[in-house]
Amino acid sequence: MRRGVFVASLALSGLVAACSAGTPKAVPQRLVLITVDTLRADHMSSFGYPITTTPFLDRLAAEGTLFTRAYAQSATTKPSHSSIFTSLYPVQHGVRNNGLILDEEFETLAEMLAAAGYATAAFVSTDVPLGGNVGQGFEVWDQHRVDRDLEGGRSLYRAAGDTVDRALAWVDEAVERGQERFLLWVHVYDPHKPLQPPAEVLEEVEDMIAEHGEQAYRDLLVSRGIPADNRLGTARTAGTAGTAGTARTAVAAYDAEILYADRQLARLFAHLDATGLNDETLWIATSDHGQGLGAHDWFGHSKQIYNAQLWVPLVFWQAGVAGGIRVGERVVQHVDVLPTVAEIFGLTPNQIMPMQGQSLTRYLDGERSRDAGWFAFAERSYYGNASERRQQRGNYEPGERYSLQDTEYKYLLHLEGDDEFYDLRNDPYELVDMIASPELAGRRDQMRDVLASMLQNMPSEHEAQAVSPEDIERLRDLGYIQ
């Protein structure tokens, strides 16, 4: 592709970048960033899910600002977080799969805050998918390491409770040292495979399902394209290691993992409340990507970029700032996080290429947008010349795939396969491909042309380096590399 300067004025039915206006009333002394791995938005209670999976995150959403149409730039962990921390798309920062390393030349959100005098610490529940320079700018980087010596198997990640315990200890130590201005990032991994929720939490979820109605629960899954009674274990549902039974039982286990993680994060919030630290703290909660759960013949993520894998929660909460705000009239993206933080904290990013995100501060003050709406861009993990072993597995599909969507339509461009086009107004779960619809041909062609133009003109001069052979083995343990 030709590399040039991305022109932000590329318009799609009024999708024009707009300058933000207004900032929250108080400059925070702290930022707590929460990311829940593999949490798709529509499995949160605040999005209407009938099972109470996220009482804590629902509270943040009810008291703060919830963006109901937020999308990840990738359905893979490291590319997604690299976009959150740089406000660049994966094709720009170069981390297009978990086996690559973010170039040190890029400025991250953590580096931006560290340069402004904030202490920085990250506590993550998994191994190398969040290493490889995603942690640059953090003075403290506390991650779980895969333990191959455990009797009876491997410990692929640590439970959210253990990660939160470590974060709590650091907060107390930071306060004792007088470091009350800080960035704290907590990433919990529990909704990711292998699904192994605490038995008592799974029992609670099953009780809620029974109260809602077993058939109603199954009907809900089917309405989202999830074949509730399909057995797992075939290539089409690869990525469910540790989970037995049907898609219905796997989804219940997934819900239980979300509930468990939510309760552990609530402990962190309660501790900051009890110590008075929440009074000047901005909380941001999101997830790196979603999960297919069986829709489109795929239980996992990475391979696909339907909205089951891209639709994520995005919540901002700050004491003393107007709350109870739901923003759904426009789409937002992970790349919007860094510009929003920069404006709230009064900082000027020094990224080496134009950032792709827009500040969302106007919405945090309750203002509504006058622009027609923005778009969300995403790309699938790209492995280049994949090994024969990878090509033979069910979680591989050749070629590059990109998507562009607004509030009404979504175009998927496949460089080695058929393109797809969806009418999100009538088909939010992308079950009916409208690529051949004559009635939508005008909008289809317009979105295709904009997406192709973006890819042709998007600036990218960096080629990410591969992780070490040791880290490759850890990625293989986690199921990311075959």
Asked if 252 contacts 287 with a C-beta cutoff of 8 angstroms, the reply is no
Least confident of 1-10, 246-255, 380-389: 1-10
pLDDT at position 193 is 85
pLDDT tens readout for residues 171-180: 999 999 999 9
pLDDT for 100 equals: 76
User: What integer is the mean pLDDT of 301-312?
Assistant: 93
* pLDDT in the model for residue 480: 45
Question: What percent of the chain clears pLDDT 90, i.e. is strictly above it?
Answer: 63
- Side by side, the strands of the sheet bearing 409-414 are 376-379, 401-405, 409-414, 420-423
| Cα distance between residue 125 and residue 105, in whole Å | 26
- Residues contacting 284, CB < 8 A, separation 6+: 31, 32, 33, 34, 314, 315, 316, 317, 337, 341
Pick from 412, 332, 326: which is nearest to 373 by CA? 332
In which residue are the tokens 């890819």 written?
455
Residue 221: its pLDDT value, please? 95
In terms of Cα–Cα distance, which of 10, 3, 12, 112 is closest to 356? 10
CA atoms within 13 A on the CB side of 70: 32
The separation between CA 346 and the C-alpha centre of its own chain, rounded to angstroms, equals 25
Tens of pLDDT, residue by residue over 437-479, are 999 999 999 999 999 998 888 766 555 554 345 544 544 444 4
pLDDT of residue 146: 63
Evaluate whether 320 touches 60 at the Cβ level (below 8 Å): no
pLDDT of residue 208 exceeding 60, the answer is yes
- Check pLDDT > 80 for residue 152: no
The two tokens of residue 18 are 């707009």
Separation CA 454–CA 457 (nearest Å) = 5
Question: Mapping DSSP to helix (H, G, I), strand (E, B) and coil, where does residue 452 land?
Answer: helix
Which residues sit opposite 31 in a β-bridge?
A: 183, 282
Kindly give the pairing relationship between strand 311-318 and strand 325-327.
unpaired
CA torsion, ordered 446, 452, 454, 455, to nearest 10 deg: 160
Q: What is the pLDDT of residues 210-267, one digit of tens each?
A: 999 999 999 999 999 999 887 765 433 334 433 457 889 999 999 999 999 999 999 9
Strand bridging mode 100-101 / 465-466: antiparallel
- List C-alpha distances in Å: 321 to 159, 365, 422, 481: 32, 7, 37, 44
Quote the pLDDT of residue 231.
74
Residues forming a β-bridge with 318: 282
**128 has a pLDDT exceeding 60:** no
- Look at the pTM and tell me if it is higher than 0.85: yes
Q: Which of 425, 236, 235 is nearest to 227 (CA)?
A: 236
Q: Which run of H or E residues covers position 439?
A: none
Amino acid at 334: H
So where are the chain's domains?
30-374
* Average pLDDT value for the chain: 84
- Can you list the alpha helix ranges (DSSP code H) found in 108-159? 109-115
CA-based nearest residue to 28, from 405, 316, 222, 245: 316
pLDDT tens string 55-70: 999 999 999 999 999 9
One-character DSSP codes across 187-217 = EE-TTSSS----HHHHHHHHHHHHHH-HHHH
18 vs 377, more confident: 377
Averaged pLDDT for residues 402-414: 96
Alpha helix (H) ranges present in 117-226?
Answer: 160-176, 199-212, 214-223
Topology of the domain comprising 30-374: Alkaline Phosphatase, subunit A (3.40.720)
> What is the per-residue pLDDT for 397?
75
Output the pLDDT for position 301. Answer: 87
Statement: residue 4 has pLDDT above 50: no
Q: What is the pLDDT of residue 133?
A: 76
Place 481 in a pLDDT band, splitting at 50, 70 and 90.
Answer: very low
pLDDT tens per residue, range 324-362:
999 999 999 999 999 999 999 999 999 999 999 999 998
Does residue 45 carry a pLDDT above 60? yes
CA 473-478-479 angle, to 5 degrees, is 95
